[in-house]
Amino acid sequence: MKLLFSPVLILCFMVIMGVATYMIAERQRTDLLPSIHADLSDYERITGFAIELGSIHANLYRTINIANIGTSDNSIIEASIRRSTEQLQALRTTVDENPALAELVEPLQAYVAGVGGVAEMLAIDVSTAILLMEDVASVHAGLNDLVTQKLSAAVTQSDKTLESAARESEKATFATLALTCGAIVFSVLAALWMGGVIRREIAHIGRSINFASKGDLTVPVASKNGDELGTMSREFDQLLETMKQLIGQIDGSSTEVDSAARKLAEITTSNNTRITDQYNATEQVATAIHELSATVQEVARNAADAASAAAEADENAKRGSDMVMESVNAIEALAVDVTNAAEVIGKLEQDTTGIGSILEVIKSIAEQTNLLALNAAIEAARAGDQGRGFAVVAEEVRTLASRTQSSTDEIQEMIELVQKGSRNAVDVMNQGQQRTLETVAQANKAGQALGAITSAVATILDMNTQIASAAEEQRTVTDDINHNVTRISDSSRYNSESSAQTLDASEHLKRLASDLILQLKQFKTA
């Protein structure tokens, strides 16, 4: 709570200053602003009246000038007079509605009456209207003077209001500065006083902390204050009591830890020796198993190579047997083709024999045709000149019969050659067919021999496969044994290393227990 005293006090002063400033500003707003607004409204009304009056008077002069020039268009003059009259009526209404312009009512009525007379006279005599305008100008000048006085009075009143506002603002500023200075001075004094109180309590706590840092836990703060520092002091005293109890417990436990550490060091030394011996023996077994595993792997690899070679031989024997069977099939097909060819050639020989018979018939026909042609020639000779044409035809027929007989003889010779070649081809085909049958028999014998080889190779392959499988199983078992022995060796090495580390840790624990006992003797708890 003491730490919050100064900030709370400063906050209270700030709230008071804010409320006071707000009240002063609100007073200025409620008292001065209406007066300022009223002064500005009067000034605005008077200024508007002066501007409107000047506009009406200028328009009246323009109308008189137009009439004096002598224009023939009276509508312009009438419109100007009507506009001036309407402006005067509006200005009079404005004056009647504003109390600030009450003093202008009578002069404005006189000005309105004068303007009305000038307007009526313009329709009769412009010169007389100009003379009347001089009186209206005098009334207008009086109105201007009165408006000027009203403006001066409004400005004077506005200046007074502003001066009053300035004085009120100076008072508010002075009051704010006074409150601010008072708040600052009071806050500084309160902070100095509170700082002294807090420093004294902190120094008392620091004394107990200094003793505790040197190992003396018998000097409590013993503060009776109810603030935050008092609470912290009591909690520090409780911490000292807890530390004294804890140090007492640690002192008792450290003695037991020292004794246990010494026993642990002795046991660890003995275990380390046994584990080292076990590790060395396991390493020797692992080396022997590793060599055995390498040997088994070599046997398995050789068995696998033999099985692979046997499989390749079996595959080659099968391919050879297949090739022999294909050759046998091809030779048998060739024998069938040769037999078919022999039959075809025999049929060709028979066909050529038939052709020879046909040629004999053709030859006989040619001979008969030749005889007929000869008889026709004889008959033509008998006929004389009348049979000359027939004789020519008979000669041509005889010539054709001779050529046919000659061609038939040539064909007969060729057919005899073909028949002779066909008989030779049939003989050759029969010999080839016989040799083909002999080749088929030999190929069948070769196929049977290759079948026997394939069967033997398959038996060898099966035996090699069994050997390789047994070698692989032996290699797997050996690898498992090698792996397990290696794991045992690794575990032995790890146990040896862990035992050495445990020995180092037990020695270190023994030293720490001794150091802890020495350090606990530095604390004063009673």
Task: Please tell me whether residues 315 and 166 are part of one structural domain.
Answer: no
Query: Taking the CA atoms of the chain, what radius of gyration do you get in angstroms?
Result: 76
**Angstrom distance (rounded) from CA 88 to CA 114:** 12
Q: What is the pLDDT of residue 49?
A: 62
**Angstrom distance (rounded) from CA 112 to CA 139:** 10
**Angstrom distance (rounded) from CA 126 to CA 173:** 67
Which residue carries 């603030």 as its tokens?
A: 227
Nearest in space to 452 (alpha carbons), one of 320, 312, 328 = 320
First-to-last C-alpha distance (Å) of the chain: 35
Q: What is the pLDDT of residue 303?
A: 62
**Angstrom distance (rounded) from CA 401 to CA 379:** 18
Query: Which residues span the domain enclosing 53?
Result: 2-180
Task: Please tell me whether residues 164 and 258 are part of one structural domain.
Answer: no
Read off the amino acid at residue 69.
I
Does some domain include residue 55?
A: yes
Task: Please tell me whether residues 255 and 134 are part of one structural domain.
Answer: no
Indicate the DSSP class of residue 20: H
Task: Please tell me whether residues 154 and 251 are part of one structural domain.
Answer: no
Task: Please tell me whether residues 274 and 166 are part of one structural domain.
Answer: no
| CATH code of the domain in which 75 resides | 1.20.120
- In this structure, the number of other CB atoms found within 10 A of the CB of residue 148 comes to 12
Does some domain include residue 185?
A: no
Does some domain include residue 218?
A: no
**Angstrom distance (rounded) from CA 214 to CA 204:** 16
Does some domain include residue 156?
A: yes
Q: For Cα atoms 225, 228, 231, give the angle at the middle one, nearest 5 degrees.
A: 65
Chain length of the chain: 526
Give the DSSP H/E element, type plus range, for residue 332.
helix 228-383
Q: Which residues of 322-356 are buried (b: 16+ CB within 10 A; e: fewer)?
A: eebbeebeebbeebeebeebbeebeebbeebeebe
Task: Please tell me whether residues 156 and 267 are part of one structural domain.
Answer: no
**Angstrom distance (rounded) from CA 450 to CA 180:** 127
Say if residues 111 and 137 touch (Cβ distance below 8 Å): no
Does some domain include residue 236?
A: no
**Angstrom distance (rounded) from CA 110 to CA 112:** 5
| CATH code of the domain in which 311 resides | 1.10.287.950
Which residue carries 């792997």 as its tokens?
A: 297
Region of residue 384 (phi > 0: left; psi between -120 and 50: alpha; otherwise: beta): left
Among 180, 197, 230, the domain-final residue is: 180
- In this structure, the number of other CB atoms found within 10 A of the CB of residue 482 comes to 20
Q: What is the pLDDT of residue 96?
A: 66
Task: Please tell me whether residues 145 and 286 are part of one structural domain.
Answer: no
Residue-level pLDDT, tens digit, the chain, 526 residues = 555 555 666 677 677 767 766 676 666 556 655 655 555 565 566 666 667 767 777 777 777 777 666 654 555 556 666 676 666 666 667 666 666 566 766 776 777 777 777 777 777 777 787 787 788 788 778 877 877 887 777 778 777 777 776 777 777 677 778 877 877 887 778 777 777 777 777 777 777 777 777 777 677 776 667 666 667 777 777 777 787 777 777 777 767 767 776 776 677 777 667 767 766 766 776 676 667 667 767 766 776 676 676 677 667 767 766 776 776 677 677 667 767 766 776 676 676 676 667 767 777 776 777 777 778 778 777 777 776 776 777 777 778 777 777 777 777 777 777 667 767 766 776 777 677 777 777 767 766 776 777 776 677 667 767 776 776 776 777 677 767 767 776 776 776 677 677 778 767 777 776 777 776 666 666 6
Say if residues 450 and 324 touch (Cβ distance below 8 Å): yes
Nearest in space to 336 (alpha carbons), one of 425, 432, 260 = 432
Among 133, 160, 180, the domain-final residue is: 180
Task: Please tell me whether residues 156 and 265 are part of one structural domain.
Answer: no
**Angstrom distance (rounded) from CA 360 to CA 506:** 136
Indicate the DSSP class of residue 215: T
Task: Please tell me whether residues 453 and 368 are part of one structural domain.
Answer: yes
- In this structure, the number of other CB atoms found within 10 A of the CB of residue 457 comes to 20
Domain count, the chain: 2
**Angstrom distance (rounded) from CA 265 to CA 368:** 148
Task: Say if pTM beats, i.e. exceeds, 0.85.
Answer: no
Task: Please tell me whether residues 166 and 310 are part of one structural domain.
Answer: no
Task: Please tell me whether residues 318 and 449 are part of one structural domain.
Answer: yes
Name the 3-class secondary structure at 72. Answer: coil
Task: Please tell me whether residues 260 and 169 are part of one structural domain.
Answer: no
- For residue 177, CA distances in Å to 11, 15, 17, 170, 218 come to 16, 14, 9, 10, 55
Does some domain include residue 202?
A: no
Does some domain include residue 359?
A: yes
Q: For Cα atoms 459, 463, 466, give the angle at the middle one, nearest 5 degrees.
A: 140
Question: Greatest CA separation found in the chain?
Answer: 190
Does some domain include residue 230?
A: no
Among 180, 214, 237, the domain-final residue is: 180
